[in-house]
Amino acid sequence: MIVPEKTLKRDIIYNGRVLKYVVDTVDVNGKEAGREMVFHPGGVGVVAIDDEGFVCMVRQFRKPYEKAILEIPAGKIDPGEEPIVSAKRELTEETGYSANEFRSLGEFYPSVGYTNEIIHIFLATGLTKGESSPDEDEFVDIEKIHIDEIVSMIMSGDIKDGKTIAAIMKTQYIIERNFR
| Binding of a second copy by 180 (CB under 8 A) | no
Whether residue 128 contacts residue 107, with contact meaning beta carbons closer than 8 Å, is answered with no
Structure letter (DSSP) for residue 77: P
Q: Write down the catalytic residue from 136, 138, 143, 149.
A: 136
| Binding of a second copy by 162 (CB under 8 A) | yes
Q: How many residues bind a second copy (CB under 8 A)?
A: 71
Q: Which of 50, 71, 90, 94 is close enough to bind a second copy by CB under 8 A?
A: 71
Minimum CB separation of residue 154 from a second copy in Å reads 7
**Which residue pairs from 108-114 have beta carbons closer than 8 angstroms and sit at least 24 positions apart in sequence?**
108/45, 108/162, 108/163, 108/166, 108/167, 110/162, 110/163, 114/35, 114/36, 114/37, 114/38
Residues 77-106 that bind a second copy (CB under 8 A): 104, 106
Computed on alpha carbons and rounded to an integer, the radius of gyration of the chain in Å comes to 18
- Of 128 and 143, CB closest to a second copy: 143
Minimum CB separation of residue 54 from a second copy in Å reads 20
The 108-127 contact track toward a second copy, x by CB under 8 A, reads xxxxxxxxxxxx--------
The neighbour count for residue 177, using CB atoms within 10 Å, is 8
The neighbour count for residue 86, using CB atoms within 10 Å, is 21
| Binding of a second copy by 179 (CB under 8 A) | no
Nearest CA among 42, 57, 17 for reference residue 110: 42
The 11-50 contact track toward a second copy, x by CB under 8 A, reads --xx-xxxx-x-xx-x-xx-x-xxxxxxxx--x-------
Q: Annotated catalytic, 52?
A: no
Residues labelled as active-site residues: 136
